[in-house]
C-alpha cells in the first residue's frame, strides 16, 4: 500500500487516491491534445532522459483514442476550481485542467510522478483532484541590488512555476540601481544602472526585454508584478535626477552597519555601492516628484498586462510620518488612476488615506512587532487585502545556518523546517478571506550570480509553495512527510540544471 504522503509530490495535492500498479512510459507513448503545455511536457521529458516523448505528438487535428501508456492533455472548465486539474493514471494518463493554468499545474504533478527505476520510466496509478488554497502564490526577485538578465529571469520563472507559483514580483529599483528603461526619464537607466551592490556589474531591461519577461512568465502562468520602490530606496533616482531627491539621511544603524561591513556611506549624486537602508527619499512636497511618479507609473502600466503595480513604501526612515503619509496617499491614487491595483509594503498602511483597494505586503515577523500588524490591517479596513511575506519564514535571502556563505541574518536564520512551519492566516488579526496568499522574496545584496540566487531559493521555495498551494490540514501536510517528498525533487532539479542547497535536514534521493 502506498500512502498519499509517500508520493514524490511538492506541493501536496488536495486529494489523492493511489491504486496498485504503474503506467510505463515508453517509446510508444503518445501525447494527445492541442495545448501549448504539450511542448513544455516534451521538452521537460527530454531533459529528464525520456526521449521518446519528444517525437510522440500526433499530427495537428488528430483526435485518436489514447492507447495504453499514452498521455492525454485537455481543458474542461467543469472539472474543478480555477487553476485546478484532475490527473488520472491507469492504462493511460489523462490531465484535465480547469483552464490552461490548471493543465500546466497538472503537468508539473505528472512530471514529479514520472520516475525511472530498473524497469524503466513509469507513473504510478493515481487519481488526483487538485486546486490551490491561495490565489496569490508569489516569489520576488530583487534585480536592483544585483542585476539578472532576461535569460536568468526566465530560468527563475521556469524553476518557480514548476512549483506552482503564479506571481513573479520583480523589485526593479533600489538605492543601488534602476533596472527598467523609462522613455520619459531616460537618465534613470543611462546614469543609474551600470553597477550593482559591492561595485559588481549592473544592467537594465529595455522595454523589449521587459515585455519578453512578461510574455515568458505568462507562458508559465505567472503574473508579473513590477515594483518601483518609493519614496525611499531611491538613491539611484538622485544619481540620474538630483532635483528629485533629498540629501542622504545617515541614521545610526546605517553608519554602524557600513562601518562593520567596510562599505562606503551614500553620497548625494554618486552611485551607492553599499547595502545600507533608510537613507534616501524623493522630495515629497515638490510637484515635480509627482510628475515623475505619474510618468513612471504610466509607462509601467502600459507594458504590464497584469492587474498589479507595486510602489514600495518600505524603510523610509529619514522621512517624517506626515510626509510619508502624504506620499502614500498620492502615489497609491496615481496607480489607481493608471488603471492598476496598487501593492505596497505594509508601512504604507500607516497612511490614513491610502487608495481604497490597495494590497498590502506584510514583511514583519511571524509574531508582529510594534505598529506592523496595525499598518497591515489598515489595508483591509480600506477594502484591500494582504500578501503575507513574514520575514522570519519567507525571506529566501536569510542564511540556512549561521555559517552559510550566502545571505543575511537580520530577520532570522531560516532552515528548511523553519521555512515550512508557519501559517499565513495565523500572523495577523484579520479575516482569513483578506489573505490573498503568500510571497517569498529573494533580496540580492549577497547573490552575485543567478546560481547564488538559486542556492538560496531552492529548496526553501518548495516549502513556501506547499504553504501557498496545499490545504492547511490533511494527510502528509506536515514536516515529516514534506522533508521526504522534498528529497524526491533532487533528480528533477538536477535534470533542469537548477542549483539547490543540499540541506542536511532533507533525505535527498537519486531518482
Ligand atoms: C523589505 O524587506 N525592506 C521589504
State residue 27's pLDDT score.
Answer: 87
Q: Is residue 460 part of a domain?
A: yes
pLDDT at 53: 73
Please tell me whether residues 290 and 431 are part of one structural domain: yes
Q: Assess whether 42 and 161 both reside in one domain.
A: no
Separation CA 181–CA 285 (nearest Å): 26
What is the grid cell recorded at 326? 502624504
Q: What is the Å distance from ligand 1's center to 305 Cα?
A: 25
- Whole-number pLDDT of residue 229: 98
Q: Which band of pLDDT confidence, cut at 50, 70 and 90, is reported for residue 102?
A: very high
Cell of 382: 480600506
What is the pTM for the complete model shown?
0.97
Residue 27's SS3 state is coil
Q: Are residues 300 and 403 in the same domain?
A: yes
Domain annotation covers residue 332: yes
pLDDT tens, 10-52? 999 999 999 999 999 998 899 998 888 999 999 999 999 996 7
Q: Is the pLDDT of residue 173 over 80?
A: yes
| 128 CA → ligand 1 middle, Å | 38
pLDDT of residue 500: 98
- Residue whose Cα lies nearest atom 2 of ligand 1: it is 363
Give the model's confidence band at 400: pLDDT under 50 very low, under 70 low, under 90 confident, else very high.
very high
From the list 75, 74, 90, the residue with the least C-alpha distance to 32 is: 74
Q: Rounded to the nearest whole angstrom, what is the distance from the C-alpha of residue 363 to the centroid of ligand 1?
A: 6
The pLDDT value given to residue 55? 47
Do 410 and 460 lie in one domain? The reply is: yes
**Residue 381 CA, ligand 1 centroid: distance in Å:** 22
The pLDDT value given to residue 6: 76
Residues in the chain: 511
Note the pLDDT of residue 166: 98
Task: Give the pLDDT confidence of 314-351 residue by residue, as tens digits.
Answer: 999 989 999 999 999 999 999 999 999 999 999 999 99
Q: What is the CATH classification number for the domain harbouring 400?
A: 3.20.20.80
Same domain, 165 and 67: no
- Residue 385 belongs to domain spanning: 136-172+209-228+286-472
Residue 164 lies in a domain: yes
Ligand 1 contacts CB of residue 363 (under 6 A): yes
The arithmetic mean of pLDDT across residues 172-184, rounded, is: 98
Q: What is the DSSP string of 98-158?
A: SSHHHHHHHHHHHHHH-EEETTEEEEEEEEEEE--S-SEEEEEEETTTS---HHHHHHHHH
Lowest mean pLDDT among 62-76, 150-164, 260-274, 434-448: 62-76
Residue 439 Cβ inside 6 Å of ligand 1? The answer reads no
Residue 480's pLDDT is 97
Average pLDDT estimate for 197-215: 97
Report the run of H or E that residue 468 belongs to, with start and end.
helix 460-469
Shared-domain flag, residues 422 and 298: yes
Instruction: Give domain status of residue 299, yes or no.
Output: yes
116: in domain: yes
Nearest CA residue ID for atom 1, ligand 1: 314
Q: Specify the ligand 1 atom closest to the Cα of 391.
A: 2
Q: How far apart are CA 13 and CA 303, in angstroms?
A: 34
The string of pLDDT tens digits covering residues 282-293 is 999 999 999 999
Residue 511 lies in a domain: no
Do 218 and 74 share a structural domain?
A: no
The label of the residue with cell 500498479 reads 21
Q: What is the pLDDT of residue 226?
A: 98
Position 270 scores a pLDDT of 96
CA of residue 50 to ligand 1 center, whole Å: 42
Q: How many domains is the chain built from?
A: 2
| For ligand 1, mutation pick of 227, 345, 408 (most atoms within 8 Å of CB) | 345
Instruction: Please tell me the predicted confidence (pLDDT) of residue 434.
Output: 98
Closest atom of ligand 1 to CA, residue 395: 2
Q: Is 17 helix (H, G, I), strand (E, B) or coil?
A: strand
Please name the residue whose Cα sits nearest to atom 4 of ligand 1: 314
pLDDT of 394 strictly over 80: yes
pLDDT tens sequence across 44-72: 999 999 967 754 555 566 666 889 999 99
pLDDT at residue 467 above 80? yes
Residues 419-443: what's their mean pLDDT? 98
Nearest ligand 1 atom to alpha carbon 277:
3
- CA 443 to ligand 1: nearest atom: 2
Pick from 74, 69, 72: nearest CA to 91: 69
Which residues are annotated as catalytic? 315
As given in the structure block, the three cell numbers for residue 56 are: 510522440
Checking if the pLDDT of 497 tops 70, the result is: yes
Cell of residue 145, nine digits: 541590488
315 C-beta closer than 6 A to ligand 1: yes
How many Å lie between the centroid of ligand 1 and the Cα of residue 314? 6
Which DSSP symbol is given to 236?
H
Maximum C-alpha span of the chain:
71
Residue 162 has a pLDDT of 98
Query: Are 506 and 462 contacting, i.e. CB atoms less than 8 angstroms apart?
Result: no
Over residues 434-458, the mean pLDDT reads: 98
Mean of pLDDT values over 160-174: 98
Residue 296 in domain? yes
Non-local CB neighbours of 166 within 8 Å, separated by 6+ positions: 83, 101, 132, 135, 136, 137, 138, 221, 222, 223
Check if 142 has its Cβ closer than 6 Å to any atom of ligand 1.
no
CATH code (residue 39): 3.30.379.10
Give yes or no: residues 32 and 142 share one domain.
no
Percent of the chain surpassing pLDDT 70: 97
Cβ atoms of 342 and 359 within 8 Å: the answer is yes
Task: Give the closest residue (by CA) to ligand 1 atom 3.
Answer: 314
Q: Specify whether 367 is located in the same domain as 389.
A: yes
Judge if 322 and 420 occupy the same domain.
yes
Quick one: pLDDT at residue 410? 96
Amino acid at each position: 500500500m502506498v500512502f498519499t504522503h509517500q508520493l514524490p509530490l511538492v506541493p501536496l495535492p488536495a486529494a489523492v487516491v493511489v491504486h496498485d500498479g504503474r503506467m510505463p512510459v515508453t517509446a510508444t507513448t503518445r501525447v494527445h491534445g492541442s495545448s501549448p503545455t504539450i511542448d513544455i511536457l516534451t521538452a521537460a521529458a527530454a531533459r529528464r532522459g525520456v526521449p521518446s516523448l519528444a517525437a510522440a505528438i500526433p499530427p495537428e487535428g488528430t483526435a485518436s483514442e489514447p492507447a495504453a501508456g499514452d498521455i492525454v492533455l485537455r481543458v474542461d472548465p467543469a472539472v474543478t476550481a480555477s487553476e485546478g486539474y484532475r490527473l488520472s493514471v491507469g492504462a493511460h494518463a489523462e490531465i484535465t485542467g480547469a483552464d490552461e493554468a490548471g493543465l500546466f499545474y497538472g503537468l508539473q504533478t505528472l512530471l514529479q510522478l514520472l520516475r525511472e527505476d530498473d524497469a524503466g520510466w513509469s507513473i504510478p496509478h493515481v487519481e488526483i483532484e487538485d486546486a490551490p488554497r491561495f490565489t496569490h502564490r508569489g516569489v520576488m526577485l530583487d534585480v536592483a541590488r544585483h542585476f539578472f538578465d532576461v535569460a536568468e529571469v526566465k530560468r527563475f520563472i521556469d524553476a518557480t512555476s514548476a512549483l506552482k507559483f503564479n506571481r513573479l514580483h520583480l523589485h526593479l529599483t533600489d538605492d543601488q540601481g534602476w533596472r527598467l528603461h523609462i522613455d520619459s526619464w531616460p537618465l534613470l537607466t543611462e546614469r543609474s544602472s551600470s553597477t550593482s551592490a559591492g561595485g559588481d556589474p549592473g544592467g537594465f531591461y529595455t522595454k523589449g526585454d521587459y515585455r519578453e519577461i512578461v510574455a515568458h512568465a505568462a507562458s508559465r502562468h505567472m503574473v508579473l508584478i513590477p515594483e518601483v520602490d518609493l519614496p525611499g530606496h531611491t538613491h539611484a533616482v538622485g544619481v540620474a535626477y538630483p532635483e528629485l531627491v533629498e540629501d542622504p539621511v545617515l541614521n545610526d544603524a546605517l553608519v554602524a552597519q557600513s562601518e562593520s561591513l567596510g562599505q562606503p556611506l551614500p553620497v548625494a549624486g554618486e552611485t551607492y555601492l553599499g547595502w545600507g537602508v533608510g537613507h534616501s527619499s524623493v522630495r515629497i512636497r515638490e510637484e515635480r516628484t509627482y510628475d515623475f511618479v505619474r510618468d513612471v507609473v504610466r509607462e509601467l502600466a502600459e507594458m504590464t498586462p497584469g492587474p498589479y503595480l507595486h510602489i514600495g513604501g518600505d524603510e523610509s526612515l529619514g522621512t517624517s510620518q506626515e510626509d510619508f503619509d502624504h506620499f502614500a496617499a498620492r502615489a497609491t491614487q496615481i496607480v489607481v488612476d493608471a488603471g492598476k491595483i496598487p501593492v505596497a509594503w505594509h508601512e504604507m498602511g500607516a497612511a490614513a488615506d491610502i487608495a481604497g483597494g490597495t494590497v498590502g505586503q506584510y514583511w514583519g515577523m511571524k509574531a508582529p512587532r510594534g505598529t506592523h500588524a496595525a499598518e497591515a490591517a489598515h489595508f483591509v479596513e480600506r477594502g484591500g487585502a494582504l500578501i503575507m511575506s513574514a520575514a522570519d519564514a519567507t525571506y529566501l535571502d536569510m542564511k540556512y545556518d549561521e555559517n552559510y556563505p550566502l545571505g543575511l541574518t537580520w530577520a532570522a536564520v531560516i532552515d528548511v523546517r523553519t521555512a515550512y512551519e508557519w501559517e499565513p492566516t495565523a500572523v495577523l488579526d484579520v479575516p482569513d478571506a483578506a489573505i490573498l496568499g503568500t510571497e517569498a522574496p529573494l533580496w540580492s545584496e549577497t547573490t552575485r550570480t543567478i546560481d547564488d540566487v538559486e542556492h538560496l531559493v531552492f529548496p526553501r521555495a518548495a516549502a513556501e509553495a506547499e504553504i501557498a498551494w496545499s490545504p492547511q490540514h490533511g494527510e502528509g501536510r506536515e514536516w515529516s512527510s514534506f522533508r521526504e517528498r522534498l528529497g524526491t525533487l533532487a533528480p528533477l532539479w538536477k535534470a533542469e540544471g537548477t542549483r539547490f542547497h543540499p540541506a542536511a535536514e532533507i533525505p535527498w534521493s537519486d531518482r
